Structure 1
Amino acid sequence: MSEHPPPTLDSPASIAAIYPHKGPQHFPVVLGQMEQRVQLVTTWGIEHGENVIEIGCGQGDCTVVLATAVGDAGHVIAIDPASLDYGSPYTLGQAQAHLRASPVGKRIDFVQADPREFLRGTTDKYTTAVLAQCIWYFSSPQTLSAILAALAPRVKRICLSEYALTASDPRAAPHVLAALTQASLECRKPTSESNIRTVLSPAALKAAASTAGLTLLKEETVVPPEGMLDGRWEVGAVLADDFETEVQESIQDERERAVVFAMRDAVRAARDALTVKEERVHTMDIWIATYATASYK
């Protein structure tokens, strides 16, 4: 069992301290992620004692914040279909094992399963379902629709967050372009293991929620914390030599290939237009929404 004291929402650093990280040099990276997840959980108003189901938990960065919010009287069941050896710098299996041994570990159950299959195999109900910046990992828009439809009879509310495809901070413009560039490549592959597989805007997400019979309670678009580095990582991935090789290998039509390369050039130009270039790339805006289901009282 970890010797760290129980974390609190008003101290993202206390949550980052129990999340796996590679020493002091890696701690600021984890802290930026925790600050953003606290931003989400606070906006959604997750309360002490809730029974939460999280879809697409990954390594558990939002899971640990949810477990902090629900307290000892609450519980989080965290679902992800990815292999336990997927992920970097820690795999899902390593990160989840670390969190199980943390001060909030008893509040969490990690389950490796397709969310739809998991929901078909249980009749359990929950107060809240959470999908925190996982939707772009889905293989198609229909996957989201199926998950929302399966969750709706089981929960009182569904909390969503995803990148907004807007840049309130001009430094985030390269990130918006990088996300669309990655998506333009990945949608041409039969299967994808990219971080960005299906790009859906907030308008498309709201349409899917409406089709599932959900009622929007509140929404807002926020600028993520300065320490959240996803924008820098995604821009770097698009401008890497490996990305160019993937385009050459995955896209045979020369016109389609030219579109992806033109978008990549736009990413580079947007990054180079910044005063300090890549070091100043910021993460794009994040859309946060809370929906009520028909069972909401």
Structure 2
Amino acid sequence: MSIDINNFCEKYKLYQEDAIQKVQLQHRFQLAKAFEIKEGMRVLEIGCGQGDMTVVLADQVGASGHVTAIDVASGEYGAPLTLSQAHEKIKNTKLGERISFHLETDFLTFPVEEHYDCVVFAHSSWYFHSPEMLSSYFEKVRMISSKLLFAEWDVHYTKISQRGHFCAVTLLALHSALTENDGNIQHVFSRQEIIKLLEVAGFTIQKEDVVASSYLQDGQWEIDYASEVYREFSTDSTQFHTLATSLYHMMNESVKDSLDTFVVVAM
């Protein structure tokens, strides 16, 4: 799949002046290639956020396909645009008629009235608070679709330049384990954990892949956020403060490349 991002943005009148979003789109198109999204597919996306993956899926399924995109977050969540604002911009393009957005929607109670060709989880699993919760999602997916397409950051980094992102992720996961917060890292799942949960839910792994994504801005963003969160450990005299401090120093001594992304296709 060779995609000219500028042509995509011009075609749909989206993100034309947004250099950051164009970089993010490049990654989502790489994921769509690994997922082997086809024209005419009916896709359910879980954890759509502001729609970064959604617009790419909608482009790839074409006018004969459809994307149902759901998220538990409210329309007021997100920055610099809220989810509602981002979705409204998308709905006002040619892609809008191919997409149905559903916010404040728990998949476990979402009424499913059709069989989907595939269900997509793209960088959404770390929002889950526990393996049990994610497992329950996989079990329901098994009942409504024959294919699950999964992508997440790969904690098994291969470049030392990605260590900072790994440390940031670990620090943020530690913070979520000790405090209640609405951060986007609640539980860090490795590829091995995801495969085990999928197999327990009755899926068979058809494909595994790694998509290079060190060029993305997410590593920098997570490191910046983890640096802010670290201050909350400063008054903690337990071993958690010592661990957080070690992670903080390693994080800030590293280059800020993003982790790569692992992809799993299960049927």
TM-score range (shorter-chain normalised) is over 0.9
Aligned-CA RMSD value: 1.8
Structure 1 CA distance for aligned equivalents of residues 220 and 254 of structure 2: 12
What 5-or-longer segments of structure 2 have no aligned partner?
Answer: none
1:247-285 deviations in whole A, cap 9, x for unaligned?
A: 347xx56222221122112211224xxxxxxxxx21111
3-state DSSP of counterpart to 1:96: helix
Length, aligned pairs only: 265
Verify: 1:135 aligned to 2:125, yes or no. yes
Query: Which residue number in structure 1 is paired with residue 231 of structure 2?
Result: 245
In structure 1, give the amino acid aligned to 2:259: M
Q: Write the mapping of 1:160-179 to structure 2, written as runs, cut at 5 A.
A: 160-179=150-169
Is contact 1:15-1:64 (8 Å) kept?
no
- Check 1:286–1:157 CA distance in 2 against 1; reply closer, same or farther (3 A cut): same
Is contact 1:145-1:212 (8 Å) kept?
yes
- Check 1:20–1:12 CA distance in 2 against 1; reply closer, same or farther (3 A cut): closer
Structure 1 CA distance for aligned equivalents of residues 2 and 124 of structure 2: 22
Query: Which residue number in structure 2 is paired with residue 115 of structure 1?
Result: 107
Structure 1 CA distance for aligned equivalents of residues 2 and 79 of structure 2: 25
3-state DSSP of counterpart to 1:244: helix
Is contact 1:52-1:127 (8 Å) kept?
yes
Question: Paired residue for 2:206, among 217, 220, 226?
Answer: 217
Structure 1 CA distance for aligned equivalents of residues 166 and 67 of structure 2: 32
Is contact 1:168-1:223 (8 Å) kept?
no
1:24-69 deviations in whole A, cap 9, x for unaligned?
A: 3xx2211110000000001110000000000000000000000000
What 5-or-longer segments of structure 1 have no aligned partner?
Answer: 1-7, 272-280, 293-297
Is contact 1:19-1:99 (8 Å) kept?
no
Question: Paired residue for 2:242, among 249, 258, 266?
Answer: 258
Structure 1 CA distance for aligned equivalents of residues 55 and 73 of structure 2: 18
TM-score, normalized by length of structure 1? 0.84
Identity of paired residues, percent?
28
Task: State the 1:125 CA deviation.
Answer: 1.3
Is contact 1:129-1:155 (8 Å) kept?
yes
TM-score, normalized by length of structure 2? 0.93
Runs of 4+ residues deviating >6 angstroms: none
- Check 1:9–1:114 CA distance in 2 against 1; reply closer, same or farther (3 A cut): farther
Structure 2 CA distance for aligned equivalents of residues 171 and 187 of structure 1: 26
Is contact 1:54-1:77 (8 Å) kept?
yes
Is contact 1:12-1:38 (8 Å) kept?
no
Is contact 2:112-2:144 (8 Å) kept?
no
Is contact 2:175-2:229 (8 Å) kept?
no
Task: State the 1:19 CA deviation.
Answer: 7.2
Query: Which residue number in structure 2 is paired with residue 184 of structure 1?
Result: 174
Is contact 2:168-2:222 (8 Å) kept?
yes
In structure 2, give the amino acid aligned to 1:115: F
3-state DSSP of counterpart to 2:147: strand
